[in-house]
Structure 1
Amino acid sequence: MAAADTAAMDAPLHIAFISETFAPEINGVAHTLGHLYRGLAQRGHLLQVIRPRQTADRHTSSDETLLLTRGWPLPGYPGLQWGQSSLHKLLRRWQRHRPDVLYIATEGPLGLSALRAARRLGIPVVSGFHTNFQQYTGHYGFGLLTRLLTRYLRWFHNSTQTTLVPSPSQRVELQRRGFERLALLARGVDGQLFHPARRSTALRASWNLSDDDLAVLHVGRLAAEKNLQLLVRSFRTLQAARPEHHLKLILVGDGPQRAYIQAEIPDAIFCGIQRGEALAEHYASGDLFLFPSLSETFGNVVLEAQASGLAVIAYDQAAAAQHIRHGHNGALAMPGDEQAFIEAADWLLEDRESLRRIRLNARQHAGKQTWSMIIERFEALLIEAAKRPDQQNADRKKPRCAGA
């Protein structure tokens, strides 16, 4: 890695990030890109971001480091924009100031236009598989589109030099579906921000919890793809099975499923979207973290919860498969086995001392998962791509399903 660092210092790369979403928006993709962007900037690289104009950008103008494009509202995600195709705008910009390499984080119209512009100009492209869109279609009533969407995603990513995936399980799944040239780029966590020391007695008191009571926490978008029916069922079962504990469900985040959860568990506490130190305080003030999602490519919240000293219950995939050892620093269930998920959560409540030990082990493990190592690898992968001529893409014919 020292050689890569030296190369970066001697000749900084001109890197363009293309994404439908970017920090300070609140979602996993924006969170990850924010860390990667800041890390490369600190290493002296020349960066630009191409993204749709969002509601908060009314007084923001494009410049050499930022290109704002038009967008359309994204159904089911208020406040976010789906980027408009901007082929000619990108061609003009990159003919004047040609990037050494692109990182395309999303596969929508904006990402597609960036890929097409890069192919015309011979610019190397690295892509990231950040979101399981082909799984989301079933949750939003578009199940018939799943096969077509999978074909498009496969074509899109196979048209780039390298596709970065966040977990070994995701890599295996994509390889099975015909995706090529996959490289692992894991995720890190800010262990100074997310820390058990941020636990707040005052915050817990506002939830009507004493030191001996247990806060069952969930952080994330309250949406269908997060499998929140299992969250509700699990919490109800824990309440019934453990009457000796005073359990309270605490939800951080917002979304279309809030009304459903509120109707099912009227005494649940809805904290809304939290950021920065306030978010870290909410994490650290919890005790158990229920994460029933089956649609994650990674799941940054798993590491954030562990770093905050919570016992995490999750399915054995993505981040949980990488960072949880069942019975040592959390609890796992086989993907899709709802009864096993509930039993794993109940097992954590059997013994207070075991729960304390698991929470300590979770913090110890997550505290070692720093972003600096992830950024070093990301930098090395971009340097490698920038050094290779993009002959694969220039020679590859575009299939009909690409739609362009």
Structure 2
Amino acid sequence: MKTPPLHITLVSETFPPEINGVATTLGRLREGLCLRGHRVEVIRPRQSGDTTGLADPDLLLTRGWPVPGYPGLQWGQVSMHKLLRRWRRRRPDVLYIATQGPLGLSALRAARRLGIAIVSGFHTNFPQYAGQYGLGLLARALTGYLRAFHRRTATTLAPSASQRLDLQRRGFERLGVLARGVDATLFNPARRSQALRDSWGLRPDDIAVLHVGRLAVEKNLSLLAPCLHALQRAYPQRRLRMVLVGDGPQRQGLEQQLPDAVFCGVQRAETLAEHYASGDLFLFPSLSETFGNVVLEAMASGLAVVAFDEAAAAQHLQHGHNGALALPGDSAGFIDAACWLLEENETLRRVRLNARHHALHQGWAAIVEQFEGHLAEACSRPSPLAPPIKAYPMADKPN
């Protein structure tokens, strides 16, 4: 049965045109909901170059300040009272809160005061990131805060079954799963460009070992150099080159570890798709993802993906069929999996074809329909009872 049109508010500290998995996902969800006839309001921090906002009744831009160590990302700031005034004038049917910073907390508190249904998403594993940066006490505090935050929403949507299980073990309640999709028209092997490969110094039969993503410590990128060197030792007759797409605080260190690699910086849209399609082998060594959209993008582009058996890789890769998997944390197994893919040309060709075939069935339309169902179901439930959460510092300062 078709869901009646809803007035939906998306609350997030990141949104397109910013480049990260959360922004990409929210952009696709918003687009899909609008196509299905829903009214979608977005509340987010103002981005550099923003010229919209005042004239758009479905967009509220808030103040923001940089997240330390993450240039280009912001915490949002808006007063709860501003949201109360806005939503009393034009009340949404349901909120989706994608980030749990001060902006998300203000939205949570305002919506609960007004009795508006709330669905939340677990998009980023900040406690795990804090642990990897050596901030164990902060990681425990963040877990407690997030557990309290999500306990006050009708449903918390995790991106994978494995992530849902992890949250259950940490005491989170009322969990659902909302996977991710991929645009297999944009990310397509047909975009392969020999001219681009020429600029990388690669002939048609050479191997471009690709990585796409933020160059940050939590991505476990220290595994890239030993993996490449092992491939070069195992196949000295083959010409291999590491190509990294993206930027971040680890770039300088990676340039020292991989002096012959090609660093392409941040790429977008069709140019990004061309970079994917011009690769051959995709290394994804991260152990901190809640999902990992780049796995599906690489598969749709016809790449053979090597990853650890969790998050998106666990959901979409079948070892030996459409990719290669290693047990989480088994660096030697990861390197062995990469080496196996290059043992025979037929193995690499078959895995790449199977990866593309799988990705063709992972479109966004079905994901948006599932999301719509979660939102509609939340509208029919009473808000869960829970005491108020102590606010972030500055979360309720007027702006």
Distance 1:399 1:190, change over 3 A: closer
Deviations 1:251-296 (A, max 9, x none): 0100111101111111110111111111111001000000000010
Task: Give the AA of the match of 1:288.
Answer: L
1:45 is aligned to 38
Q: What is the CA-CA distance between 1:231 and the residue it aligns to?
A: 1.5
Would you say the 8 A contact 1:165–1:182 is kept in 2?
Answer: yes
Aligned to 1:243, the other structure's residue is in SS state coil
Q: 2:308 aligns with which of 287, 309, 315?
A: 315
* Stretch of structure 1 that moved more, 81-90 or 172-181: 81-90
1:102 is aligned to 95
Q: What is the CA-CA distance between 1:145 and the residue it aligns to?
A: 0.4
Once residues 349 and 356 of structure 1 are traced to their aligned partners in structure 2, the CA distance between those partners, rounded to angstroms, is: 10
Q: What is the CA-CA distance between 1:124 and the residue it aligns to?
A: 0.5
Cα-Cα RMSD: 1.4
Q: What is the CA-CA distance between 1:240 and the residue it aligns to?
A: 2.0
Q: 1:397 aligns with which of 373, 387, 394?
A: 387
Structure 1 gaps of 5+ residues are none
Once residues 247 and 392 of structure 2 are traced to their aligned partners in structure 1, the CA distance between those partners, rounded to angstroms, is: 34
Deviations 1:61-83 (A, max 9, x none): 36421101111111112122211
Once residues 183 and 65 of structure 1 are traced to their aligned partners in structure 2, the CA distance between those partners, rounded to angstroms, is: 27
Would you say the 8 A contact 2:223–2:331 is kept in 1?
Answer: yes
Once residues 90 and 275 of structure 1 are traced to their aligned partners in structure 2, the CA distance between those partners, rounded to angstroms, is: 33
Once residues 44 and 252 of structure 2 are traced to their aligned partners in structure 1, the CA distance between those partners, rounded to angstroms, is: 31
Aligned to 2:72, the other structure's residue is in SS state coil
Could you state the TM-score of these two structures normalised by the residue count of structure 2?
Answer: 0.96
Would you say the 8 A contact 2:105–2:391 is kept in 1?
Answer: no
1:119 is aligned to 112
Once residues 141 and 174 of structure 1 are traced to their aligned partners in structure 2, the CA distance between those partners, rounded to angstroms, is: 21
Would you say the 8 A contact 1:216–1:247 is kept in 2?
Answer: yes
* Stretch of structure 1 that moved more, 117-126 or 80-89: 80-89
Once residues 56 and 105 of structure 2 are traced to their aligned partners in structure 1, the CA distance between those partners, rounded to angstroms, is: 22
Distance 1:61 1:80, change over 3 A: farther
Task: Give the AA of the match of 1:367.
Answer: L
Would you say the 8 A contact 1:151–1:401 is kept in 2?
Answer: no
1:338 is aligned to 331
Would you say the 8 A contact 2:53–2:59 is kept in 1?
Answer: no
1:91 is aligned to 84
State the identity as a percent. 68
In the alignment, is residue 329 of structure 1 matched against residue 322 of structure 2? yes
In the alignment, is residue 350 of structure 1 matched against residue 343 of structure 2? yes
Q: What is the CA-CA distance between 1:88 and the residue it aligns to?
A: 1.0
1:232 is aligned to 225
Once residues 185 and 13 of structure 2 are traced to their aligned partners in structure 1, the CA distance between those partners, rounded to angstroms, is: 29
1:295 is aligned to 288
Task: Give the AA of the match of 1:396.
Answer: A
Q: 2:65 aligns with which of 45, 61, 72?
A: 72
Aligned to 2:119, the other structure's residue is in SS state strand
* Stretch of structure 1 that moved more, 94-103 or 77-86: 77-86
Could you state the TM-score of these two structures normalised by the residue count of structure 1?
Answer: 0.95
* Stretch of structure 1 that moved more, 55-64 or 217-226: 55-64
2:251 is aligned to 258
Aligned to 1:277, the other structure's residue is in SS state helix
Task: Give the AA of the match of 1:389.
Answer: P
Matches within 5 A, 1:23-34: 23-34=16-27
Q: What is the CA-CA distance between 1:85 and the residue it aligns to?
A: 4.1
Once residues 78 and 32 of structure 2 are traced to their aligned partners in structure 1, the CA distance between those partners, rounded to angstroms, is: 28
In the alignment, is residue 377 of structure 1 matched against residue 367 of structure 2? no
Work out the number of aligned pairs and report it.
394
Q: 1:188 aligns with which of 151, 175, 181?
A: 181
2:380 is aligned to 387
Task: Give the AA of the match of 2:281.
Answer: L
Would you say the 8 A contact 1:53–1:69 is kept in 2?
Answer: yes
2:147 is aligned to 154
Q: 1:197 aligns with which of 190, 194, 201?
A: 190
Q: What is the CA-CA distance between 1:142 and the residue it aligns to?
A: 2.4
Once residues 41 and 226 of structure 1 are traced to their aligned partners in structure 2, the CA distance between those partners, rounded to angstroms, is: 33
Task: Give the AA of the match of 2:297.
Answer: E
Q: 2:168 aligns with which of 172, 175, 185?
A: 175
Once residues 195 and 400 of structure 1 are traced to their aligned partners in structure 2, the CA distance between those partners, rounded to angstroms, is: 47
Task: Give the AA of the match of 2:387.
Answer: K
Kindly indicate whether structure 1 or structure 2 has the higher relative contact order, using CA contacts under 8 Å at least 6 residues apart: 2
Task: Give the AA of the match of 1:240.
Answer: R
Q: What is the CA-CA distance between 1:189 and the residue it aligns to?
A: 0.4
Aligned to 2:322, the other structure's residue is in SS state coil
Once residues 24 and 86 of structure 2 are traced to their aligned partners in structure 1, the CA distance between those partners, rounded to angstroms, is: 26
Distance 1:101 1:32, change over 3 A: same
Once residues 62 and 96 of structure 1 are traced to their aligned partners in structure 2, the CA distance between those partners, rounded to angstroms, is: 17
